[in-house]
Structure 1
Amino acid sequence: MKQAKLTLIGAAIATTISVGAQADTDFQFGGYVKADVMFSDYSNGAPGSGSLSRQFYVPGTIYGDASNGKQVVDFQARESRFNFKTSTDLNGHKLSGFIELDFMTHTDGNERVSNSYSPRIRQAFISFDNWAAGQMWTTFQNPGALPENLDFVGAADGTPFVRQTMVRYTNGGFQFSAENPETTLNTYRDPSGTRVTSGSGMIPDFVARYNMKTESGMAFTFAGIARQLNIEMNKDTANPIDATEFGYGVSFTGVIPVGQDDIKMSATYGEGLGRYMALNYVNAGVLNGNGDIETIGSYGGYISYRHWWNDKWRTSITGSGFKADNNVDLSGNNVNKDSYSGYINLLYSPVKPLTVGVEYMYAKNTKENGMDGELNRVIFSMKYVL
């Protein structure tokens, strides 16, 4: 019976491959396995072991817990990821699908026994010729310009960083998309600085981007975003809130070869960008005394220089920063003001798919009331690209 089952499974697989071959379908598996050891020193005491800050640097999560010790060590393999891609030629039309999973951000496991964590969707999309639909990197971000750092994001303060569901059209260097909207706000004079997330609103976030590459190998992107901030709350009370406001932003990235080395950079500014910058370190707006939304301006950027010592050894030096223009008369002073981080690493690839390395990072976050948090971290990593 077992042999018969195996024969049926083998026949099914062979049939699937045969059908794929007849349709000129290519199948690709990819991803990597990455193990990290992180020694961290939090100025105000370490967050709990399930905190996001213990997985990677997230601005706003390093203020710490004074009841805990300051120095901790974390071992993890959660950044490891797997992806699967198909590409089919249909009478001159290109149809493809892509799905990618990893194990970051979840708190459903523990460090006591199994260290088991659920997979999550990073990306899942379908593309047909110039059109694509599904969860992807926001068109407002250029992931190809991110620095080569061991930290999961690597320049979190100064970069747009969002993955979400959208519809995107690409024509040459131009890209246009309608993306999932989500508004985050501070309420009026809230001493706790609590974030309000609004799922209301019918207008998508619209993004336009232009990608260009010169003959010398330099690559640049220019992106703009327009979005409607919307909130509806307290509908059944004497003081309902129903407000909308316009938000916008512009972003630039560059990758500049310098011999064998390269420089990567980004600069972003906007009013009402909120969650699009610095992992939602600052919200898009704040409610005033009349229940209307006033946008919060923000700007940030990073620059990274990667030097190849030889064909196996390399070093990246990165500086990243973000600042918000809060109106503390509306938001109160218990809100995030600015954030900075710096990185330096040494990476070694004895063979192309394998990289081992060490990285030192420093980060500082500050609130409008003067409270700050600092993080010093040393990361040791081993990564094998599948």
Structure 2
Amino acid sequence: MMIKTKVALAVLAAGLSSQVLAVELGEFNGTKFNLGGYLKAETVFDRPDDRKNTVEGSVRQSRFNLGTSSMVEGHKVRGFIEGDFWDNNTSSDSSYAWRLRHAYINIDNVTVGQTWNGQFFANAPFDTEMINFWGLGIGTIAGNGAPIRPDLVVHYTTNGWRFTLQDPVYSNADVPDAVVAYTRRTQSGHAFNVALTGREVDTTPTVDSDDQSDYGAAISLATKLKFGDTSLSLSAFTGEGAGVYAGWGYLGNTGPSGVTEVDSNGDMVTLTGFSAGIGHKFSDKLRANLRYGQVHSDKSALSEDTIQQTTVNMIYTYLPQVELGIELRDQNAANRPPSSQGTSARPAGSQVELMAMYKF
């Protein structure tokens, strides 16, 4: 779907789960400039199953973005760059470094640069709202936050179709990772998406001197149904080569290099996942969301072949641009181990997150 407004562009880049504002800076030489982002303070209480309880606080997720918009020879040209302070993740240093999140050019219905991958667009607009920062929730084909913004992505959109080529996760791949998706929206507010994904998979990941590979493909379905102040989200996917994007695989997941898409015999692993969630707006100030998701591997080297995650949150709009929230998370296996540190860890066990966000 072609992005048509500046506000929609800001929402898209900052995360489709929250309303983001943008401040117009003015127009210079025919180009409009705007500034957006948010400041966010968060505290995460970890209650893992296999180690001691911890608490971590941070404002590193805070971000700033600059957008431009102009007409050039009859073409709508937009630019967008955004960063946050997620680098230098050590427990002894709070002087976190600037990290590039988005940097892309959009000309009419073509987007090129670093931004969301095709799997994200096939799921995020149809998912249940989460405070969770590490990508989408478990259960979707976009549930792993590590490769969610590849170094280079090309999107082409037309009449509900989105065609995506992106920098491959497998470093010796001969072809880009690819996504073809179609979205259908109804006048009543319902939305449906079907997506096909494909990528080249390293079939001998323990051998660095060869480039033996196979091609894995998966299908993803997602929908969001609107019933007044209540929304119902459902998604499902199945296929091969999806572990690095879904956040699970033969050896679980510790990031893009921690997922093994093939078993000990070099055969590709088939993953099947689903998610279901419900969101309700109690008033103009208060909303709540409940979500469950899981991903099952048909082959596993771990004690768990299925990862499950439950999320429930409540978000209160204290002021028009200020939100306060609490989220409870529970999952049966770690897909971000303790070495992730800080608020990005996703251990086996439960978490409670408190947040305050000021959007501008």
- Shorter-chain TM-score: what band? 0.7 to 0.9
CA RMSD of aligned residues (A): 2.5
Which range moved further: 170-179 or 140-149?
140-149
Q: Does 1:285 align with 2:262?
A: yes
In the other structure, the counterpart of 2:34 is: 28
Three-state SS of the structure 2 residue aligned to 1:286 is coil
**Contact 2:141 / 2:242 at 8 angstroms: preserved in 1?**
no
Partner of 2:358: 384
- Normalised TM-score (structure 1): 0.74
**Structure 1 segment 115-126 matched on structure 2, within 5 A:** 115-126=94-105
Residue by residue over 1:139-182, the C-alpha shift from the partner in whole angstroms, topping out at 9 and shown as x without a partner, is: 12232223222221475321233221222211121111221112
**Structure 2 segments unaligned to the other structure (5+ residues):** 1-24, 143-147, 254-258, 336-346
Per the TM alignment, residue 233 of structure 1 is displaced from its structure 2 partner at its CA by 8.0
Indicate conservation of the 8 Å contact 1:80/1:103, yes or no: yes
Within 5 A, what are the aligned runs for 1:148-227? 148-153=129-134, 155-161=136-142, 162-164=148-150, 165-183=152-170, 199-227=171-199
What is the CA–CA distance in structure 2 between the aligned matches of 1:321 and 1:151, rounded to whole Å?
Answer: 16
Pick aligned residue for 1:40 from 41, 46, 51: 46
Q: Which has the larger radius of gyration?
A: 1
**Whole-angstrom CA distance in 2 between matches of 1:232 and 1:322:** 23
- Residue by residue over 1:18-57, the C-alpha shift from the partner in whole angstroms, topping out at 9 and shown as x without a partner, is 9x5332x221211111111111111111xxxxxxxxxxxx
Relative to 1, partners in 2 of residues 1:296 and 1:176: Cα closer, same or farther, differing over 3 Å? same
Aligned length: 309
SS where residue 285 of structure 1 aligns?
A: coil
CA distance in 1, matches of 2:292, 2:205: 40
The superposition leaves residues 290-317 of structure 1 with CA deviations (integer Å, 9 ceiling, x where unpaired) of: xxx4211001121221111211111111
- Counterpart in 2 of 1:312? 285
Q: Which amino acid aligns with 1:84?
A: L
Letter in 2 for 1:226: G
The match for 1:91 is: 73
- Residue 17 of structure 2 corresponds to none
Consecutive unaligned residues in structure 1, runs of 5 or more: 1-16, 46-69, 184-198, 368-372
**SS of equivalent residue, structure 1 residue 275:** helix
Give the C-alpha shift of residue 263 in structure 1.
1.6
- The alignment status of 1:295 with 2:268, answered yes or no, reads yes
Q: In the TM superposition, what are the counterparts of 1:203-282 in structure 2 within 5 Å? A: 203-230=175-202, 241-278=210-247, 281=253, 282=259
Between the aligned residues of both structures, percent identity stands at 28
On the 8 A contact 1:110/1:116 being kept in 2, the answer is: no
CA distance in 2, matches of 1:38, 1:160: 25
Moved more, 114-123 or 354-363: 114-123
- Cα deviation 1:309-351 (Å, max 9, x = unaligned): 211111111111111111x6xxxx3476211111222211022
Contact in 1 for aligned 2:47/2:350 (Cα 8 Å)? yes
Name the CA shift for 1:103/1:336 in 2 (closer, same or farther; >3 Å).
Answer: farther
1:62-102 per-residue CA deviation (whole Å, 9 max, x = no partner) reads xxxxxxxx111111111111111111111320111111112
Q: Is the 8 A contact 1:245 1:294 kept in 2?
A: no
Distance 2:43 2:334 in 1: 27
